[in-house]
Amino acid sequence: MNIIQSIVLSIIEGLTEFLPVSSTGHMILASSIMKIQDDAFVKTFEISIQLGAILAIVLLYAKRFWQGISIYLKLGMAFIPTAIVGFLAYDFIKAYLFNSTIVAVSLIFGGIVLILIDKKIVDQQSKTDVLESITYKNAFFIGLIQCFSMIPGVSRAAATIIGGIFNGLDKKQATEFSFLLAVPTMFAATGYDLFKTSIDFSKHEIFLLGLGLIVAFITAWIAVKIFLKIVENYGFKHFGYYRIIIGIIFLGVIK
């Protein structure tokens, strides 16, 4: 992997991590197009630069995290299913699911679901006044649905947003809960991946990781600001159309 390739992947990560379009899927597809060798470092790079995107959320929602322990408890409950399934399925996922065909199919299927979900939420009112008041039961089920995002192309953001909507949140609350749940989920995923990775990074690879974190942070900050406005004004259907189109395109070009 060269510097240009690492920058492109990091921009894709930052722009797509919190959108319901699958950042991991886009990076796998981009790597395929750019003919990036699918080695241990590339897989670790694609996961590690998520920390840059997550830092953007931590800073953007710093006040929310300082408001009290309630939000931490609800996020912790939502994180439990992902932690268990992720720990048990980690090796299988990395060995067999990180390929372009699975990503393309997942993008198409997820796009259809988003379009259908968008119709469901047109007039949906939230069952809770503030996000912190979500029940532990609902938080757990959102986390359970998030487990589907371990399949590349499904999208963690899409899974948690859909989970939030089916558990009584309106579209803005579902989106913000998805943002907040990303913090423990992605910190854990990245940390566990680095722990399981036995390769020794070269100076060049360490530089690429650092560069990727910075680029992902900047682009994620911008993307989150724009995404919330899009969701409030237009919903999720356009992301569904995008997923279907890009999934079909890649099914036609991948070999």
Instruction: Give me the mean pLDDT over the 74-102 stretch.
Output: 84
Q: What burial letters (b/e) apply to 65-94, b meaning 16+ CB within 10 Å? A: eeeeeebeebbbbbbebbbebbeeeeeeeb
Residue 70's pLDDT band, with cuts at 50, 70 and 90, is confident
The burial of 35, by beta-carbon neighbours within 10 Å (0-12 exposed, 13-18 middle, 19 or more buried), is given as: exposed
136, 128 in Cβ contact below 8 A? no
Domain edges within the chain: 3-253
Look over the chain and give the mean of its residue pLDDT values, rounded to a whole number.
86
Q: What does the DSSP assignment read for 56-72?
A: HHHHHTHHHHTS-SHHH
Instruction: Give me the mean pLDDT over the 33-48 stretch.
Output: 82
Q: How far apart are CA 158 and CA 239, in angstroms?
A: 10
- Res 255 pLDDT > 60: no
Q: What is the pLDDT of residue 181?
A: 92
Tens of pLDDT, residue by residue over 182-231, are 998 888 877 777 777 666 778 898 899 999 999 999 999 999 989 988 88
Q: What is the pLDDT of residue 82?
A: 87
Tens of pLDDT, residue by residue over 111-131, are 999 998 887 766 666 677 777
Please give the distance of CA 237 from its chain centroid, rounded to a whole number.
Answer: 18
Residue 244's pLDDT band, with cuts at 50, 70 and 90, is very high
Tens of pLDDT, residue by residue over 137-166, are 999 999 999 999 888 889 889 999 999 988
- Res 96 pLDDT > 80: no
